[in-house]
């Protein structure tokens, strides 16, 4: 009892402890009010790091007077740049799927479309559980007030009873269903027991947050995007900046501005124009909003052509409010008629330094490791071969958060260690290996090491016809260009 009393500290000490950067945070206990009986209970706090995932704050409350107990997990790290949506297909009779660990943050929504069932963020606090635990907890919370509902609204209580039968049937694995975890903060997680190999039952999608989701997470959102009347001054400032961008004459930045400044013999303008942007002929600047905090920022864009590839659009933005920086490369021109598969045989150190452009629609394969990443897994990248492999290793460690947890059995642990060692061998070039980029939109590229791309025998390009399923996923089957074609023909004839 004396040891327990010595561990009880004030809230200030707890905040100071959980805010520290030390890895080994102690367990703290705070005296808290029990909401069931009104007596004082004890809340325990523990700051811990889930390996290769996130820093989390675990809290558990226990009341010795009435036996009330509850627990909660909160994320102590930063909100991720993009939201995430996990979709798990659960067939009937497969009990192993129900043992998967699930991290539900306080901003996540859980859906089961077959039951038209949804757990909104405010209904449940953050939790670290299993798939079975999530469903059983939801059923128990619905069952808790059934006796009171039967007295007040018998029809609603009867409907909930019928729904509980279906929900418990799914929780026991007797009925197939789809489990969707959607978290705008990007901190949700569903375990993949087959990692690092892909899971046929689990799919992950990352997306940009909407202004409404930004506001719910506590970020500053643009009132005009939310459909509300906002500050008139900020709106007029944005309109003024937009008008200024439109009124800026052609050639006011980039190399064209440099030639004009030299002709006018203005040394200040020469330095400002030539050294602001050196690579592109013309850089376009326009106002935009930060993808993280929704504050006003500036985006720069220019169009260039990569030899042996195609015309591309390079965009970069920096936010002065939160420091967020983002750059991306988008393909220019029309949608290619065929997809492209690029195969590189990596044999020497020069191959690791080859430039790589991987678009959102490209998948990555390394046959020697049986490694395959579906399209959209890493997003769009402009890097090197070495950088791509490093990014794959970091992404796998981050996404599959329970890689080296205490509950992981020895066989899975050894599997992960062997796979990481195999990835390191790729970069050390102990043996030659093959890198394959398969892009249905042909927007990916690996640079040759020779002046003539045909003389690079380690690099091959193969075009292929896209399947109907690929066109459907890319939204090409529903495109109707008849109106545009008709207008083009009329313009051409006139």
Cβ atoms of 356 and 387 within 8 Å: the answer is yes
Give, in degrees to the nearest 5, the angle at Cα 367 between 338 and 426. Answer: 115
Beta strands in 440-491 (DSSP E): 445-446, 459-464
Tell me how far apart the alpha carbons of residues 250 and 471 are, in angstroms, rounded to a whole number. 39
- Residues pairing with 128 in the sheet: 103
Q: 93: which DSSP letter?
A: T
Extract the tokens encoding 248.
């800026």
44: number of CA atoms within 13 Å, CB side? 14
* pLDDT at position 343: 94
CB 300 within 8 A of CB 315: yes
DSSP summary character for residue 8: B
pLDDT confidence of residue 260: 55
Of all helices (H) and strands (E), which one includes residue 28? strand 28-33
Q: Which two tokens stand for residue 274?
A: 């030539």
Helix 254-263 and helix 267-276, axial crossing angle in degrees, nearest 10: 170
The two beta strands, 445-446 and 69-75, are unpaired
Structure confidence by residue, pLDDT tens digits, 341-357: 999 999 988 899 898 88
Q: What is the pLDDT of residue 323?
A: 80
Rounded-to-integer distance, Cα 414 and Cα 133, Å:
28
Q: What is the pLDDT of residue 196?
A: 67
Which pLDDT belongs to residue 112? 92
161 and 154 in contact (C-beta within 8 Å)?
no
Q: For 233-370, list the strands marked E by DSSP.
A: 284-289, 296-305, 311-318, 325-331, 339-346, 355-358, 362-366
Token digits for 433? 């290996």
- Taking only the tens place, the pLDDT of each residue in 160-175 is 889 999 888 888 888 8
pLDDT tens per residue across all 494 residues of the chain: 444 444 444 444 544 444 444 445 677 888 888 888 888 899 888 877 654 455 677 788 889 889 888 877 766 666 777 788 999 999 988 888 888 888 888 888 999 999 888 888 877 777 778 888 888 888 888 888 888 888 888 888 888 889 999 888 888 888 899 999 999 888 888 888 777 677 888 888 888 888 888 778 777 655 555 554 344 444 444 434 444 433 333 334 444 554 555 555 555 555 554 444 444 457 788 888 887 777 788 888 888 777 777 777 888 888 888 888 877 777 777 788 889 999 999 998 889 989 888 888 888 999 988 888 877 777 777 889 998 998 888 777 665 545 555 555 677 777 777 888 888 888 888 889 999 999 988 888 898 888 788 888 899 999 999 888 888 877 777 777 777 667 667 666 65
| Residue 298 confidence (pLDDT) | 85
Q: What is the pTM of this model?
A: 0.51
Q: Where are the alpha helices (DSSP H) in 324-464?
A: 349-352, 385-399, 410-428
Tally Cβ neighbours within 10 Å of residue 231.
Answer: 10
310 CB neighbour count, 10 Å cutoff: 15
Q: CA-to-CA distance for 395 and 377, rounded, in angstroms?
A: 9
Phi, psi of 77 (to 5 degrees): -90, -165
Q: Do residues 41 and 390 lie in contact, with contact meaning Cβ atoms separated by under 8 Å?
A: no
């Amino acid at each position: 009892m004396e040891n327990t009393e010595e561990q009880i500290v004030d809230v200030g000490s707890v905040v100071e402890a959980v805010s520290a950067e030390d890895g080994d945070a102690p367990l703290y206990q705070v005296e808290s009010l029990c909401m069931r009986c009104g007596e004082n209970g004890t809340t325990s706090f523990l700051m811990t790091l889930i390996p290769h995932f996130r820093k989390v704050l675990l809290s558990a409350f226990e009341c010795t007077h009435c036996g009330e107990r509850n627990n909660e997990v909160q994320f102590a790290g930063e909100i991720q740049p993009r939201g995430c949506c996990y979709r798990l297909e659960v067939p009937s009779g497969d009990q192993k799927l129900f043992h998967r660990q699930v991290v539900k943050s306080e901003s996540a929504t859980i859906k089961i479309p077959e039951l038209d069932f949804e757990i909104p963020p405010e209904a449940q606090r953050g939790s670290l559980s299993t798939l079975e635990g999530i469903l059983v907890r939801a059923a128990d919370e619905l069952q808790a007030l059934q006796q009171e509902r039967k007295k007040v609204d018998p029809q609603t209580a009867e409907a909930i009873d019928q729904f509980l039968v279906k929900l418990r049937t799914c929780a026991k694995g007797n009925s197939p269903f789809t489990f969707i975890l959607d978290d705008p903060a990007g901190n949700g997680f569903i375990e993949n027991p087959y990692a690092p190999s892909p899971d046929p039952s689990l799919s992950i999608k990352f997306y940009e947050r909407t202004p409404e989701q930004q506001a719910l997470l506590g970020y500053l959102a643009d009132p005009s995007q939310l459909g509300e009347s906002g500050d008139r001054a900020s709106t007029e400032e944005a309109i003024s900046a937009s008008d200024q961008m439109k009124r800026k004459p052609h050639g006011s930045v980039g190399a064209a501005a440099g030639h004009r400044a030299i002709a006018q013999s203005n040394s200040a303008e020469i330095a400002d124009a030539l050294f602001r942007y050196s690579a592109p002929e013309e850089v376009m600047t326009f106002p935009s909003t930060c993808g993280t905090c929704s504050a006003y920022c500036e985006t720069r864009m220019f169009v260039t052509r990569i030899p042996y590839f195609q015309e591309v659009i390079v965009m970069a933005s920096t936010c002065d409010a939160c420091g967020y920086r983002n750059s991306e490369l988008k393909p220019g021109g029309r949608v290619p008629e065929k997809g492209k598969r690029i195969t590189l045989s990596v044999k020497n150190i020069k191959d690791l330094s080859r430039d790589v452009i991987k678009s959102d629609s490209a998948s990555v394969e390394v046959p020697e490791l049986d490694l395959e990443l579906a399209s959209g897994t890493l997003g769009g990248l402009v890097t090197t071969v070495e950088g791509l492999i490093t990014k794959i290793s970091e992404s796998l460690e981050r996404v599959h958060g329970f890689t080296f947890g205490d509950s992981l059995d020895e066989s899975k642990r050894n599997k992960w260690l062997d796979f990481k060692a195999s990835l390191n061998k790729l970069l050390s070039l102990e043996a030659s290996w093959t890198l394959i980029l398969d892009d249905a939109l042909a927007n990916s590229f690996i640079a040759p090491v020779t002046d003539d791309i045909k003389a690079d025998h380690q690099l091959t390009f193969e075009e292929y016809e896209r399947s109907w399923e690929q066109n459907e996923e890319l939204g090409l089957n529903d495109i109707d260009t008849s109106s545009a074609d008709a207008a083009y023909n009329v313009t051409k004839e006139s």
